[in-house]
Structures are given as C-alpha cells and as structure tokens.
Structure 1
Amino acid sequence: MSPPPPLSEAERFARLRLARTDRVGPVTFRQLLDRYETAERALEALPELVRRAGGRGDGPPPVDQIEAEYAAGDRIGAQLIVLGDAAYPEPLAATDPSPPVLWTLGDVSLMSRPCIAVVGARIASAGGQRIARGLAQQLGEAGHVVVSGLARGIDGAAHAGGLPTGTVAVLGGGVDDVYPPDNADLYRQIVEQGCIVSESPVGARAQAKDFPRRNRIISGLSRGVIVVEAELRSGSLITARLAAEQGRDVFAVPGSPLDPRSRGPNELLRQGAILCEGLEDVERAFSTLRTLREPGPDNLFRGAPDEVDQALIERVADLLSPTPTPRDELARAAKAPIGAVAAALLELSLAGRATLLPGGLASL
C-alpha cells in the first residue's frame, strides 16, 4: 500500500487549531478526522455540531493564537509534527488515542527507531540509579532508544545512560519547560544528542493534569516499559498500566521488600510483569514477542448519516451515566446503528454533554 500524500501546510495548521479547540481531546480529534477526513472540514462543521447537540462554546481558537504558537516554536527551533505527518512515530499512531500534535526539539528520527522506556522513582536510591543507568547503556548499545520523562532519580539516570546512543525525553509542559531545574544540563545535552517531545504548546508550564498524558506518550513510543523503583501509588505504575493497555510489555526490576520503592516493581511481578535483571531479559522477551498492536478498526462513521437525527442524540444522552459504557452497548440500547451512535456521541462531547474515552467508552 502506498503511503498517503503529505499534508498541506493549511491542513497541518488546521490540525493544530482543531487540537487546541476546547472539548476536543485526542479521542474526539481522531473521530472528527474519521468523520470529516480533514481538519479543515471538521473546523467548518464544529459550530453546527455543537448547536445541534445543545451546547455552547467559543469554538476553535482564533487564527492569531495558532500563529503565535507557531512563532513560539520557530523562536526556539522546535519542529511541529501532527498526526498524519510522515515523521509521526508509527507506534504512537497505533495507540488509542494518539496525541494529535507533538512539538519536538532535536533528532526526531529517534522516535521511529525501536524504543524502550525506563521509568521509576524520583527519590531513587543510589543503587536504583546505577541499575537504571547501566540498563539504559546496555539497551542503547544493543540498538534501542531509551525513553523517559526527564524527572529526578530513575528518569534522569536512564537518560544519562542512553545519551551516547540516543534518548527521548517526554515532557508534561512545553518542550522549553525545563523541569526540574536541576536537570537543566541534562536537558541541554538531550537537545543536542537526543530528542525532547511534548504535546503541550511551546511556553506551557507543566501542571498535574499533564503528566498522565506525558506517561501515555512514554509508553506509546516504546515496545516495552521497564520499572526500576516505584512506590505503589506512583506515576511509574500509571505508565506501566498504560503500557499494558496499549499492548506493550511491562518489565520490572525486583528489589528488597524492606524498601518501599521496591513495592511497585514487586507488585508488577505478582501481576505478571516480566522480571528484568539486565539486557538479556529484555532481549529474550522481545525474541518471542508479537508485533505491536495494529491501528484500530475501520472508520466508525462509514455509512453514518451526514446529519444525526436530533431524537437519537437525546436518546443516546439519556443512556449515558457517570460510569464509562461501551459504545456498542449504547448502540444496542438505542436500537441504532453503531455509526449513527458514534456520531451522536461525538456531537454530545463537543457540546460538553459527554466524555469520549479510549477503548470505545463514553460517559457523562
């Protein structure tokens, strides 16, 4: 199959504008592209979709706001990659949902090479940092790119070990948001020798809500995720859970039961994670691995009506609850085709009356 034609600059601009539109998250973005084929057409349709589903909103951000984001990226030498670009990493494009846009600094080709994430505790032991650094070095020498989140502790040690052979740092804030500040020297080295990536606008400062999105990119770029040290309630275990949901493999470095930082990896091992004591454990697992999960099913909206019946929109809205419900279950209850129900859910989400979730789920 021949690759799709490159996106025009107008379409790339429209995709960034659509991604920055209020109530358009990654799931909604992908479904709008499925339904309207281009972001330009989706932007034209948005006001009527919101009105029909009984919502109000400011609509897409003004053009000058998006031009300002482009200009901010140009000032620091950042590159924008939108979903559909040739440079967009294939493993990330196969996730549900894929980040609509990525800002990058450095060597973007690293994201298209075989990647493995190494994550763990911010307040890490000296031994844990030594393990992470050594693992990253071994992985790099074996041809893998090390991915992590540029946090203190395990993340920083993993980046340092992978720096000579290629490392990717995924940030919660913009690609110019150096956090924590004491990793500033490491950040500069990664810009020169590796790649910095974020889906946040240039200039954005990281907030708590940004880190789950960052963790999804870390796992989505990677064939597997290695957890070195982590407490039971930690971002590293969230990354491991996301990896499992995305069809990636989860590795855990065992540790002493006397150290609370070992409770996370040890619990992952009880749940079926692959024990990792060195490169050979990773290589052994990958030698028997299936390929990464392929992109999702055919377009949901094929055969759906151009304009959804108002009565169906309200019927679907009545069926929603705070508990996430599978889309096909809603279709059965509404006695309507799946494509029409998907279109109704899309319009309800744009009106602020529904939330679309990964895996075909929806809730109030």
Structure 2
Amino acid sequence: MKRRDLSAGQRTDWLRLARTPGVGPVTFAKLIERFSAPEAAIEALPRLARRGGRVDPMKVVSRSEAEDEIAALERIGARLLCACEPGFPKGLAVIDPPPPVISVLGPLDPDAKPACAMVGSRNASGIGIRFAGTIARELGQRGIVIVSGLARGIDGAAHAASLETGTIAVLAGGLEHIYPPQHEALYRAIAEQGLVVSESHPRYQAGARDFPRRNRLISGLSLGVLVIEAAERSGTLITARYALEQNREVMAVPGSPLDPRAKGTNRLLREGAALVESAEDVIAVLQGASRPRFEEPGDHDYEDDMPEPGRIEAEADAIRESVAGLLSPTPISRDELTRQLGASPQAVMAALVELELAGRAELLPGGMARMAWPES
C-alpha cells in the first residue's frame, strides 16, 4: 500500500471504509488499490454489493460514527494510524494484507528498535513463566523490544519483565476493553512506558475469532516469534504459522515430553524451528533474520496496464456464480480458483470482492478465500 499523508477528511473516510461490515482487510486493500481514494471506494460499495448478490441495503459507517471513534481515542490519549500513513509501523505495513487501521496508546516507537514476539501457554508452568521473564529481561537489555498479547501466563511474564526496556501489547479487543481484567495494572504500565496496539473500535469486546487476527499483528510487528510452552492444539501455534507466512523467524523452547504444554513447542522444533535455550540463541537467530522489505505487498490486480475496469466487471459478471459455487468452508487459494475457471486473476479477485461485500464469501490473508460463515 503506497505511503501518503491523508487529510482529516480522508482519514475519516478511510476509517469509515475500514469499519463497514463486510469489508475485511483483503477487500479493503483491493478497494483502495482499485479506487485509490477511500471516498470513491465508499461510493462504489452499494453497487459492488448488489453485483455480488446482496439484497438488503449495505450499511456504510457514517461520517459522524467515524468522527466519534477518533474523538474517543483522543480522549484516552490514543491515536489512529491508517495503513498508508508514514507513521504506520513498517512491519505491519508490509504484511499481506496490512490491517487498514490500528489505534495505539503509549510513547514507544515500534520502528525505533528491532522487536521479538514472545508467546506461550496461558496455563504456563512456574518454570516456563520464570524462563520467559529471564529471556525478556535479557533481550530488552540488549536493545530488543518484546511483543506479546497481554494474555495470562507467558505473555504477561514477558511484558512485565520488559517494561523498562520496551514492550508492545497487541489486543484482540479495543483499547478501552482490558482483557484479562487481572492485567489492568500491567496494561496501564505498558500504556505509560511502552505501546498498546489494537485494530478494533476502542469499545469493542473481543470474541474467540478475534484472537487469531490479533496473533497476525504480533508476528507482523516482530522479526521473529519465540514460543515458550504451547499445547498441541494451542492458539499460540497460530502466531508461529503467521510468522512463517510473513517470512519471520520461528523459535521454540524445548520441553519435557511428559508435559502436554511442551507438545506444540517440540513439534515446532521437529518441523525446523530454531531451538532456544538462552537469550543469546534468540539474538543469533534475529541477527541472521532477513528484514522485511518495506514496500507495497501483494499482487496488483488493478494496475493501469491491466484490463480496463469495464472489461474486468464484464468478466466478473460471467464467472461470479461459478466462483461462489467453488467456495466451501475449507479455504481455497485464489490461484486455484483462477486455474479451475480459466479466468483472469483480476476478474476472479473482482468477483470475490463483490461476493464478500454481499456476505457470501470471506477473503483471507495469504491469498485464500472461503464461503462466508453464517451469522450467529
């Protein structure tokens, strides 16, 4: 996404588009890529949703609602950052797709120092919590910022040990919804000395589906992810998967084969994660890590040398229902849809955007798509 400054009105429209139901991060990026200005994308939303098969009118977030959110952030001393703005964290700007907006609270500059994520079990062992604190403290003393998710267990230990040297807490909910409640004092301390990050409305209360989205930002802000204690089916492993997709380093601390909290970390090691027994091990891995390329990510489906919009829309009309018919609850790559349909990537992408706006598809990071989940 090309870096540029936004006027106050453009920032409000950017937020309106980002908060409109049915506009996920992938669709947001493609709409900005296609229409350039957020106000032009907003104007096109109802038409695109109808093309995708939407029957009920699409409710676009109003200007006053967006202004109220910006004012709410200002009241608590937080600020809104749009993905195209120069102050947006570089690590997040290059993931595909970047979060359209984030809100941040605290004085820490996320681009000033290298960062390492530390994540692990909420139900951590005493030795795991002690080890996490030791590693976080020693890494902080070596100039490395610690990123984690403010959860109980390993996350909380890593944050607490790195308060003085720099820590970033990424929330699944909004900045005004502190979770877990027992970490309120830790949250306040991070907001005063480090940085708290959220991509949600400040009053939003997170649900189960929001934590994997949060994990994507934890890895995105970091050069590498260190996993300390994770069960075989732990949500912590989602962060490791995102790290691999984002070309970040994955590290793990080995554990006893008799402890179920070590099953996930030991599996990561068998699959090639770097083995960590000390802060020096982490530093060696991070020193050899490839830095993310700070440039616009992803395919450019609406570039000037591509077919004109009218031609793309005509082709999308012809294949839209075929695209919908190929979707299932299991994600499928957009490349595979293109291959099976024999259509252009631009038309398949246009059809998927329209289907998501109609509530019939869900576009996922990593070039994947699936049938939309029914409303609960």
Shared topology, TM-score over 0.5? yes
Query: How far 1:15 sits from its partner (Å)?
Result: 1.2
Query: How far 1:112 sits from its partner (Å)?
Result: 5.0
Question: For 1:182 and 1:320, how far apart are their aligned partners in 2?
Answer: 42
Corresponding residue number in structure 2 for 1:305: 308
Does 1:102 find its partner at 2:102?
yes
Query: How far 1:153 sits from its partner (Å)?
Result: 1.2
Deviates more, 1:255-264 or 1:139-148: 255-264
Runs of 4+ with deviation above 4 angstroms: none
Does 1:20 find its partner at 2:19?
yes
Q: CA RMSD in A?
A: 1.8
Shift in alpha-carbon separation, 1:100–1:112, aligned structure 2, 3 A? farther
Query: How far 1:288 sits from its partner (Å)?
Result: 2.6
Corresponding residue number in structure 2 for 1:31: 30
Corresponding residue number in structure 2 for 1:264: 264
Question: Conserved in 2, the CA contact under 8 Å of 1:246 and 1:293?
Answer: no
Shift in alpha-carbon separation, 1:319–1:64, aligned structure 2, 3 A? same
Secondary structure of the 1:110 match is coil
Query: How far 1:328 sits from its partner (Å)?
Result: 2.9
Does 1:354 find its partner at 2:361?
yes
Query: How far 1:63 sits from its partner (Å)?
Result: 2.2
Question: Conserved in 2, the CA contact under 8 Å of 1:301 and 1:343?
Answer: no
Runs of 5+ in structure 2 lacking a partner?
372-376
Secondary structure of the 1:109 match is coil
Question: Conserved in 2, the CA contact under 8 Å of 1:175 and 1:198?
Answer: yes
Residue deviations 1:148-195 (CA, integer Å, cap 9, x gap)? 111111111100111111100011111122222221211111111001
Question: Conserved in 2, the CA contact under 8 Å of 1:122 and 1:153?
Answer: yes
Query: How far 1:22 sits from its partner (Å)?
Result: 1.1
Question: Conserved in 2, the CA contact under 8 Å of 1:251 and 1:275?
Answer: yes
Residue deviations 1:11-63 (CA, integer Å, cap 9, x gap)? 11111111111111111111111111121110011111111222134331222
Query: How far 1:101 sits from its partner (Å)?
Result: 0.9
Deviates more, 1:306-315 or 1:141-150: 306-315
Shift in alpha-carbon separation, 1:324–1:258, aligned structure 2, 3 A? closer
Corresponding residue number in structure 1 for 2:374: none
Question: Conserved in 1, the CA contact under 8 Å of 2:82 and 2:88?
Answer: yes
Query: How far 1:4 sits from its partner (Å)?
Result: 4.0
Does 1:140 find its partner at 2:147?
no
Residue deviations 1:334-355 (CA, integer Å, cap 9, x gap)? 3332222221221122112222
Deviates more, 1:224-233 or 1:305-314: 305-314
Deviates more, 1:283-292 or 1:115-124: 283-292
Deviates more, 1:304-313 or 1:291-300: 291-300
1:45-60 to 2 correspondences below 5 Å: 45-56=44-55, 57-60=57-60
Deviates more, 1:231-240 or 1:40-49: 231-240
Deviates more, 1:133-142 or 1:316-325: 316-325
Corresponding residue number in structure 2 for 1:204: 204
Question: Conserved in 1, the CA contact under 8 Å of 2:105 and 2:196?
Answer: yes
Question: Conserved in 2, the CA contact under 8 Å of 1:120 and 1:153?
Answer: yes
Question: Conserved in 1, the CA contact under 8 Å of 2:223 and 2:289?
Answer: no
Question: For 2:40 and 2:235, how far apart are their aligned partners in 1?
Answer: 38
Shift in alpha-carbon separation, 1:330–1:260, aligned structure 2, 3 A? closer
Identity %: 52
Corresponding residue number in structure 1 for 2:10: 11
Shift in alpha-carbon separation, 1:233–1:59, aligned structure 2, 3 A? same
Question: For 1:49 and 1:356, how far apart are their aligned partners in 2?
Answer: 15
Question: For 1:225 and 1:258, how far apart are their aligned partners in 2?
Answer: 24
Instruction: Identify which of 334, 346, 352 aligns with 2:341.
Output: 334
Shift in alpha-carbon separation, 1:183–1:337, aligned structure 2, 3 A? same
Secondary structure of the 1:284 match is helix
Question: Conserved in 1, the CA contact under 8 Å of 2:49 and 2:58?
Answer: no
Corresponding residue number in structure 2 for 1:363: 370
Deviates more, 1:66-75 or 1:207-216: 66-75
Equivalenced residues, count: 362
What TM-score results when the alignment is normalised by the length of structure 1? 0.94
Secondary structure of the 2:109 match is helix
Question: For 1:325 and 1:129, how far apart are their aligned partners in 2?
Answer: 39
Deviates more, 1:172-181 or 1:42-51: 172-181
Corresponding residue number in structure 1 for 2:248: 248
User: What amino acid maps onto 1:262 in structure 2?
Assistant: A
What TM-score results when the alignment is normalised by the length of structure 2? 0.91
Residue deviations 1:191-225 (CA, integer Å, cap 9, x gap)? 11001111111111222121111111111111111
Question: Conserved in 2, the CA contact under 8 Å of 1:173 and 1:205?
Answer: yes
User: What amino acid maps onto 2:11 in structure 1?
Assistant: R
Shift in alpha-carbon separation, 1:318–1:128, aligned structure 2, 3 A? closer
Question: Conserved in 2, the CA contact under 8 Å of 1:132 and 1:154?
Answer: yes
Question: For 2:322 and 2:268, how far apart are their aligned partners in 1?
Answer: 42
Deviates more, 1:128-137 or 1:283-292: 283-292
Corresponding residue number in structure 2 for 1:193: 193
Question: Conserved in 2, the CA contact under 8 Å of 1:20 and 1:61?
Answer: yes
Runs of 5+ in structure 1 lacking a partner?
none
Shift in alpha-carbon separation, 1:5–1:93, aligned structure 2, 3 A? closer
Residue deviations 1:229-263 (CA, integer Å, cap 9, x gap)? 12112121111111112111111111222222222
Residue deviations 1:67-111 (CA, integer Å, cap 9, x gap)? 221222122111111111111111111112211111111025135
Shift in alpha-carbon separation, 1:76–1:335, aligned structure 2, 3 A? same
User: What amino acid maps onto 2:131 in structure 1?
Assistant: I
